[in-house]
């Protein structure tokens, strides 16, 4: 087992104009689980957001035999200023992808599977049908596996949202990403109100389903703006919140305005919990799917609260 410790730049995240602080460290540990998962993903011609988005937690998660599969290809129709996924015009739709994802989940023996995608604004349903097929394929192959989806906004089309809800994932995740003031610069093709409305619709349509959303910090937002978003989320019955530090993928992406200290994340977590979230993950390296498998056993208590 190869163990090293490096700053986040070691995972492919280059240095910004502001040096990456000492508390953002990645433990590089390539265990047998990591190597096997990498082999399966490559052999099955699948994509993971762990690789495509240069997630700093790839070593931690893959060693735990958890991964976030990215369906609908690896080319996104949007070009958000924070995201490392390739943007452009997708050329195809792989109808065999859901079965390959399900086979990989079964081969890995995953207790919890996370499915996300690129934005596919070129498709009438935004790819919702492929999400549903993937969920159902995993259910057939691995009935004991819980499933989390991290979906795009489907351009506000609630019929597409319902298609995914009807397939019955355990957790429905959609990220608001940043505060409303920064949308035009950071997430120009998205609408803040649509993101909140999507999750409110999910909870109204399937009250037993856990809803979840995430935010990045360090893009120039204020604490008051973050707390306002937290409040909006709770008003829309969102159960789980993730808050993590934005790290600049390349020099062509938005710059990091500042790095939050660990104690600031602790403060934000405490304030969010006081607002009534059932579970909060907050820290420099927290991402949408960070330790997602640990959140599933809390579903009953989340709903009871």
Which tens digit of pLDDT belongs to each residue from 80-112? 887 877 788 887 788 999 999 999 889 888 888
Average pLDDT over residues 240-249: 92
How far is residue 137's CA from residue 19's CA, in Å, rounded to a whole number? 45
Residue 64's CB is within 10 A of a number of other CB atoms, namely 17
Provide the sign of the torsion angle of the four alpha carbons 58, 261, 281, 157, taken in this order.
negative
Give the helix/strand (H/E) hosting 7: strand 2-7
| Domain at 147, CATH number | 3.80.30.20
Q: Domain total for the chain?
A: 1
Q: What is the pLDDT of residue 234?
A: 97
If you search the block for the tokens 């070009």, which residue do you land on?
Answer: 79
Overall average pLDDT of the 231-259 stretch:
93
Helix, strand, or coil (residue 295): coil
C-alpha atoms less than 13 angstroms from C-alpha of 291 in its C-beta half-sphere: 16
Judged by average pLDDT, the poorest of 143-157, 207-221, 247-261, 279-293 is 279-293
Q: How many Cβ atoms from other residues are within 10 Å of residue 275's Cβ?
A: 14
* pLDDT tens, position by position, 196-228: 999 999 999 999 999 999 999 999 999 999 999
Q: Shortest CA distance to 2 belongs to which of 50, 40, 34?
A: 34
Closest CA to 132 of 101, 169, 102: 169
Domain range enclosing 26:
2-304
Q: How many helices (H) and strands (E) does the chain have?
A: 11, 10
Question: Which region holds residue 168: left if phi is over 0, alpha if psi is between -120 and 50, else beta?
Answer: left
Longest dimension (CA), the chain: 49
């Amino acid at each position: 087992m190869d163990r090293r410790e490096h700053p986040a730049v070691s995972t492919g995240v280059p240095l910004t104009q502001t040096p990456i602080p000492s508390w953002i460290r990645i433990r590089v540990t390539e265990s047998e689980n990591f190597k096997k998962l990498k082999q399966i993903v490559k052999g099955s011609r699948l994509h993971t957001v762990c690789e495509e988005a240069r997630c700093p937690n790839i070593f931690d998660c893959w060693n735990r035999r958890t991964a976030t599969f990215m369906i609908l290809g690896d080319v996104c129709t949007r070009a958000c200023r924070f995201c490392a996924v390739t943007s452009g015009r997708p050329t195809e739709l792989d109808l065999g992808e859901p079965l390959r994802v399900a086979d990989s989940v079964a081969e890995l023996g995953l207790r919890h599977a996370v499915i996300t995608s690129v934005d596919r604004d070129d498709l009438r349903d935004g790819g919702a049908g492929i999400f549903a097929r993937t969920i159902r394929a995993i259910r057939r192959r691995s009935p004991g596996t819980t499933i989390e989806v991290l979906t795009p906004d489907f351009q506000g089309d609630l019929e597409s949202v319902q298609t995914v809800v009807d397939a019955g994932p355990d957790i429905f995740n959609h990220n608001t990403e940043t505060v409303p003031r920064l949308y035009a610069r950071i997430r120009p093709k998205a609408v803040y109100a649509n993101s909140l409305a999507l999750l409110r619709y999910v909870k109204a349509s399937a009250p037993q389903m856990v809803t979840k959303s995430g935010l990045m910090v360090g893009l120039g937002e204020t604490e008051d703006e973050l707390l306002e978003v937290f409040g909006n989320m709770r008003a829309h019955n969102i159960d789980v919140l993730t808050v993590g530090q934005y790290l600049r993928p390349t020099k062509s992406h938005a710059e990091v305005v500042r790095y939050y200290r660990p104690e600031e994340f602790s403060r934000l977590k405490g304030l969010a919990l006081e607002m009534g979230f059932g579970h909060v993950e907050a820290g420099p390296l927290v991402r949408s799917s960070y330790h997602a498998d640990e959140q599933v056993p809390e579903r009953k208590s989340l709903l009871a609260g």
